[in-house]
Structure 1
Amino acid sequence: MTLFRQIYALLFGLFLLTITSVAYVQFHETQNFLVQQMDSDLNNASNSLGLMLVPVLESGDAVGAETLVNVIFEGGYYQQIKLTWLVDGKQQVWNNAIRVENVPQWFIDLEIFSTITKQSTITSGWLQLAEIEITAHPGFGYHELWRIITNTIMVFAVLFLIAILLARVGLTLILKPLHNLSEHAQRIAKRQFGPDMPTPKTEELKELVRAFNSMSSQLKQVFNSLDEEVSALRKKNLVDQVSNLPNRQYMVSRLNGWLTEPSGGALFLAKFDWLEEVHSKYGYQVRDETIHLLAQKMEQHLQEIAPSVIARIAAYEFAFLVEDVEHDQLNKYLQTLIRTLNKEISKAGCKPNEGFALGVAERFGQMKVADIMAQADNALQKALLENKVFHWFETSQQQLFSREEWRDNLTLAISEKQFQFRWQPIQFCDNQQISQRELYCQLQLGDKLLHAGQFMPYIELLSLGSLLDKCLIEKVAESKLLERNYESVAINLTHNSIGDTDFHLWLKQVLRSTPHVERMCFEIPEASVYSDLDACEKLCSIIRDSGAHFGIDHFGRQFGSMAYLQSLRPSYVKLDQSFAYIDDNQHNSELCRALVNVAKGLDIQVIVTGIQEEDQLERFRTLRLDAYQGFIAPPVNIKS
């Protein structure tokens, strides 16, 4: 029972006790008053009647005596009058069966009033003429007592209602600070640190509110400190101080993660010898300023073409990792890069198309970091040797389909739901039980079985992400995967779906009618959070309100504040796969620990991904991780 109800019940009980006590006293006082009034009325009637009967008694007029008695008898509440003539012993008796109107019979049957009788002797001088006995009728008492009780009950009922309403309003106002304090405490428990509560006027609550405000402020400061620590570690270990671009260490970790995921794209390696010319002409300060401006221009123009990672890996060497794009878009990216470089070279007083070289290695099939780095470096060296602007590493592997063929094949596959599912278990670290299963989709086109990394770049390029996600969610429902599986099932959402309001409305309707919706999880890439936080908040609110869950994928990959965790409040985060390749001796392990502390501090489950061997998992034991995922437990086909 809430405190409000307890106080309300106490006041209600005290009010009833007071009313009952007052009613009890009022009842007995009224009863005694009515008894006294009936007794007094009986005495007056007896005296009056005795005086009136003296003349007729002296004359022996029985008829006159009856007339006088009837006058008195019919005008009052008398049950019986008995007149005994002392001369001859004759008795005259008058009985009155008076019915008490407007008084319930059950009330009369309580016998609250006893019978009152008054006897007196009528005399004339010393001569005794007759004896008269008058018995009062209690109807007057019942009538008056019932009237007073009903009026009292009505007054008390009105007072009771007024008191209840006033008590409710008063208690609501008095206990409002406690209600606010309770809500504030719940927000703190959920790691939501809002503005401080206003100090209430109630003296007893002032110190309590101040203590909560202080605690909330300190917890918020702890989270902010952890967030700042993450930013500082990133800037110290993963960012080039001159260009403010990621450094070689970050690029290698991203390559590791990229190559372990089903994805496409290419790696560009670039050498800018014209920067050395700037250095020799104007000194290192101008060179560094030129590098800084060049980095800004490349990020500005290249990110418009395709999402990419631009890193400075040596003094005059840069790397460009372009993920999830097809061949034609890579060509456009390359041409945009060359134009941007030529503009900056001209501004620096150097000749365009000279003083730099680019090597491009496109990802095909299963590759390791050393493989793609070697291919990109070979392409770069060939461009330098042949004095060309760029060289694209030649491969015998050809594109499967043209863009229009991809459009036709993917549109048909989505409309007919031709995708096949596999899933990979995510296991708890402490007991090896399965926490959830992540779904992967494949597509059979002719005699080719395509994994997601082969067709997802075209899904994004052709803006088919929302249609694909709807298709996969419907297929999960049709396959009854949630009914067949006790663990949660995780579905990756595309960037296109996250920003699509129509998809939001569709998903809201679907989740309302989905059985076992609590077993459904949706994963949102961290890059989508940074690119459109408002859309993510709306989507996450829909998922949470429906009873489903969601998590953040590739957690820690992007550069930026972790403050979004407080607004989104995900159920879990998945550490980016690049952290699975961190050695204990490397500085990146400090960043990984800081990221885990930020998430655990907000009571968010942390899952490490990319685990291939037990040795890798052992390095994460001290970080208090909740679960792990990787080819240590590879994806398996879903049994039909």
Structure 2
Amino acid sequence: MTLFRQIYSLLFGLFLLVVASLGYVQFTETQSFLTKQMESDLNNTSNSLGIMLVPDLEAGDIVGAETLINVIFEGGYYQQVKLTWLVDGKQQVWENSVKIEGVPQWFIDLDLFKKIKKESTITSGWIQLARLEITAHPGFGYHELWRTMSNAIIVFSLLFLIAIVFARVGLTWILKPLHTIAEHAREISQRKFGPDMPVPKTTELKSVVLAFNSMSDQLKLIFNSLDEEVGELRKKNLVDQVSGLPNRQYMMGHLSSWLNEPKSGALVMAKLDWLEEVHSKYGYQVRDETIKLLSQKLKEHLDEVATSVVARIAAYEFAFLITSSEHEQTSKYLQTLIRTINQEMSKAGCKPNENFAIGVAERIGQMTVSDILAQSDNALQKAIKEDKVFHWFENTEKQLFTREQWREHLSSAINGRRFKFKWQPVQHNDSDNIMQRELYCQLELGEKMVHAGQFMPYVELLSLGSLLDKCLIEKVHEDRLLDKSLEPIAINLTFQSLSDPKFHEWLNQFLRSTVLSERICFDIPEAGVYSDPDSCQALCTIIRDNGAHFGIDHFGRQFGSMSYLQTLRPSYVKLDQSFAYYDESEHSSELCRALINVARGLDIKIIVTGIEEIAQLDRFIPLKTNAYMGYISPPVDVED
């Protein structure tokens, strides 16, 4: 029972006790008063009637005596009048039945008034003429007592209703700070640190509110400190101090993670020997300032062409990872890169198109880190050897289909739902139990199965992400995959679905109509959270309100604050695969630990991804992660 109800019940009980006591006092006092009033009336009537009957009794006028008694008997509340003549013993009796109008019979049956009777002897001088006996009628008492108590009950009831209303309003107002404290405590338990509560005027509650505000501020400070620690460790370990760009370690980890995703794009390597000329002419300070300005311009101009990661991997070498593009877009990116370099060379007093070389390698098919690094480095070395500005590595592998053919095949597959599923277990660290199963899809084209790495880049390029996600979610429902797995199923959402209001509306309707919505999980890429936080928050609210779950995929890949975790409150995060490839240095472990502590501080489960062998997993166990996944437990076909 809530405190409000306890106090309310106490006040209710006390009020009933007071009302009952007042009612009892009122009842007994009224009853006593009416009894005395009837006794007094009976005495007066007996005395008056005795005096008025003397002449008729002396004359022996029976008719006169009866007439006089009838007048008095019919005009008062008398149940019986008995007149006994002492001369001859004749007795006359007048009776009235106990019938009272306007009073319930059950009230009369309570027998609240005892019989009141008055006997007197009528005399004339020393001679006794007759004996008069009058019994009072209780009707007057019952009538007045019922009227008085009815009015009292009505008044008490009105007062009771008024008191209840005022008590409820008053208690609500008085206990409002307690309600605010409860809400604030609930938000703190959910790791939501809002503004401080207003301090109430009530002395007892003031100290409680101040304590809660202090505790909330301390927890918020701890979280912000962890967030700042992550930022400092990233800056220290993954950022080049001169250029402000990611360093070689970050690029290698990001490259490994990118190649494990169904993406398209290219890796561009650039060697800028003209920076050595700036160094020899003006010194290292001017060189460093030139590198800093060049880095800013590269980020500014290249981000307008395509999404990419720009890193400084050596003194005069830069790497450009274009994470999603076709050949034409990569070509435009290359032209923008050359133009930007030439502009900065001119500002530094160097001749354009001299003393720098660029090598380009596109991602085609299944590639490893060493494959794409070797191709881009070969292209760079050939450009240097042939004294050219750039060289594009010639890949003999041909694309499976053209862009328009992919559009036709994908549209047909989505409409016909020609997808096959695999799933990969996410296993708990401390047991063999499975936390969830992440779903992967393959496209059936004729007799050939095409994996996601081949067709997903074209899904994004052709803006078919929302349609594909709808198709896959509906197919999961139609194939009854939730019945085939006792564990929740995780479904990856595309970037387009995150910001598509129509998809949000459709997903809301779908989850409402699904009985097993609590066993569906949605993986949201961290990059999508940073690119469109408002749409992601709206989507996460829909998922949470319908009983489903969601998590953040590629957690820790993006440079930025982790404060979005407080807003979105995901059930889990999947640590980016790049962390599985970092070396075992102290700095890398510190960064992993800091990221994990941020999530654990908000009571979010941490899943490590990209685990291929036990040695990798052993590095994460001391960091107190919850689960892991990777090719140590590869995806398997979903059984029919």
Q: TM-score, normalised by structure 1?
A: 0.98
What secondary structure does 1:583 align onto? Answer: coil
**Alpha-carbon separation, structure 1, partners of 2:170 and 2:95:** 60
1:580 offset after TM fit, Å? 0.9
- Matched residue type, 1:528: G
User: Match of 1:349?
Assistant: 349
Contact 1:528 1:536 in 2 (8 A): yes
What secondary structure does 2:133 align onto? Answer: strand
User: Match of 2:430?
Assistant: 430
Q: Is 1:630 the counterpart of 2:630 in the alignment?
A: yes
**Alpha-carbon separation, structure 2, partners of 1:351 and 1:77:** 131
Contact 2:492 2:523 in 1 (8 A): yes
User: Match of 1:443?
Assistant: 443
1:535 offset after TM fit, Å? 1.0
**Alpha-carbon separation, structure 1, partners of 2:350 and 2:519:** 61
Greater displacement, 259-268 / 471-480: 259-268
**Alpha-carbon separation, structure 2, partners of 1:304 and 1:460:** 18
1:432 offset after TM fit, Å? 1.9
Q: Is 1:318 the counterpart of 2:318 in the alignment?
A: yes
**Alpha-carbon separation, structure 1, partners of 2:483 and 2:22:** 65
- Residue by residue, what CA displacement relative to the aligned partner does 1:214-238 show, whole Å, maximum 9, x if unpaired? 1111111110110010000000110
**Alpha-carbon separation, structure 1, partners of 2:399 and 2:484:** 38
**Alpha-carbon separation, structure 1, partners of 2:554 and 2:350:** 41
1:301 offset after TM fit, Å? 2.0
What secondary structure does 1:530 align onto? Answer: helix
The correspondence of residues 190-589 of structure 1 with structure 2, limited to 5 A, is: 190-589=190-589
1:168 offset after TM fit, Å? 0.4
1:82 offset after TM fit, Å? 0.5
What secondary structure does 1:619 align onto? Answer: helix
**Alpha-carbon separation, structure 1, partners of 2:528 and 2:147:** 78
- Residue by residue, what CA displacement relative to the aligned partner does 1:358-377 show, whole Å, maximum 9, x if unpaired? 11122233333222212211
1:273 offset after TM fit, Å? 1.4
- Matched residue type, 1:401: F
1:555 offset after TM fit, Å? 0.3
- Matched residue type, 1:634: P
1:193 offset after TM fit, Å? 0.6
What secondary structure does 1:523 align onto? Answer: strand
- Matched residue type, 1:496: Q
Contact 1:497 1:503 in 2 (8 A): yes
1:582 offset after TM fit, Å? 2.9
**Alpha-carbon separation, structure 2, partners of 1:558 and 1:639:** 36
**Alpha-carbon separation, structure 2, partners of 1:85 and 1:562:** 113
**Alpha-carbon separation, structure 1, partners of 2:314 and 2:91:** 140
What secondary structure does 2:175 align onto? Answer: helix
User: Match of 1:47?
Assistant: 47
User: Match of 1:139?
Assistant: 139
User: Match of 1:10?
Assistant: 10
Contact 2:364 2:399 in 1 (8 A): no
1:601 offset after TM fit, Å? 0.3
- Residue by residue, what CA displacement relative to the aligned partner does 1:319-351 show, whole Å, maximum 9, x if unpaired? 011123333322222222222222222333323
**Alpha-carbon separation, structure 2, partners of 1:4 and 1:87:** 80
User: Match of 2:74?
Assistant: 74
1:388 offset after TM fit, Å? 1.1
**Alpha-carbon separation, structure 2, partners of 1:21 and 1:218:** 53
What secondary structure does 1:254 align onto? Answer: helix
1:476 offset after TM fit, Å? 1.1
**Alpha-carbon separation, structure 1, partners of 2:434 and 2:565:** 25
Contact 1:580 1:609 in 2 (8 A): yes
**Alpha-carbon separation, structure 2, partners of 1:293 and 1:411:** 45
**Alpha-carbon separation, structure 1, partners of 2:335 and 2:404:** 22
Contact 2:266 2:323 in 1 (8 A): yes
Q: Is 1:608 the counterpart of 2:624 in the alignment?
A: no
- Matched residue type, 2:571: S
**Alpha-carbon separation, structure 2, partners of 1:243 and 1:554:** 25
User: Match of 2:113?
Assistant: 113
**Alpha-carbon separation, structure 2, partners of 1:322 and 1:586:** 30
1:98 offset after TM fit, Å? 4.7
1:591 offset after TM fit, Å? 0.3
Contact 2:428 2:626 in 1 (8 A): yes
1:19 offset after TM fit, Å? 0.6
1:391 offset after TM fit, Å? 1.0
Contact 1:324 1:456 in 2 (8 A): no
What secondary structure does 1:408 align onto? Answer: helix
User: Match of 1:177?
Assistant: 177
- Residue by residue, what CA displacement relative to the aligned partner does 1:25-69 show, whole Å, maximum 9, x if unpaired? 111111111111111111011011001101111111000000000
- Matched residue type, 2:148: I
**Alpha-carbon separation, structure 2, partners of 1:371 and 1:406:** 26
Greater displacement, 339-348 / 486-495: 339-348
- Matched residue type, 1:273: D
What secondary structure does 1:620 align onto? Answer: helix
Contact 1:325 1:458 in 2 (8 A): no
- Residue by residue, what CA displacement relative to the aligned partner does 1:248-269 show, whole Å, maximum 9, x if unpaired? 1111111222223333322111
What secondary structure does 1:119 align onto? Answer: strand
Unaligned stretches of 5+ in structure 1? Answer: none
- Matched residue type, 1:583: D
1:304 offset after TM fit, Å? 2.3
- Matched residue type, 2:172: T
Contact 2:98 2:138 in 1 (8 A): no
**Alpha-carbon separation, structure 1, partners of 2:584 and 2:281:** 43
Contact 1:571 1:604 in 2 (8 A): yes
1:619 offset after TM fit, Å? 1.0
- Residue by residue, what CA displacement relative to the aligned partner does 1:91-130 show, whole Å, maximum 9, x if unpaired? 1111112520011111111111111110000111111111
Q: Is 1:31 the counterpart of 2:50 in the alignment?
A: no
Unaligned stretches of 5+ in structure 2? Answer: none
Contact 2:249 2:582 in 1 (8 A): no
Contact 1:122 1:128 in 2 (8 A): yes
Contact 1:599 1:606 in 2 (8 A): yes
Contact 2:418 2:443 in 1 (8 A): yes
1:447 offset after TM fit, Å? 4.0
What secondary structure does 2:431 align onto? Answer: coil
- Residue by residue, what CA displacement relative to the aligned partner does 1:373-414 show, whole Å, maximum 9, x if unpaired? 122111100001011111111221011111111111111111
**Alpha-carbon separation, structure 2, partners of 1:335 and 1:425:** 44
Contact 1:326 1:458 in 2 (8 A): no
**Alpha-carbon separation, structure 1, partners of 2:284 and 2:504:** 52
**Alpha-carbon separation, structure 2, partners of 1:339 and 1:444:** 43
1:429 offset after TM fit, Å? 0.6
**Alpha-carbon separation, structure 1, partners of 2:347 and 2:398:** 39
Q: CA RMSD for the aligned pairs?
A: 1.2
Greater displacement, 94-103 / 627-636: 94-103
**Alpha-carbon separation, structure 2, partners of 1:399 and 1:481:** 33
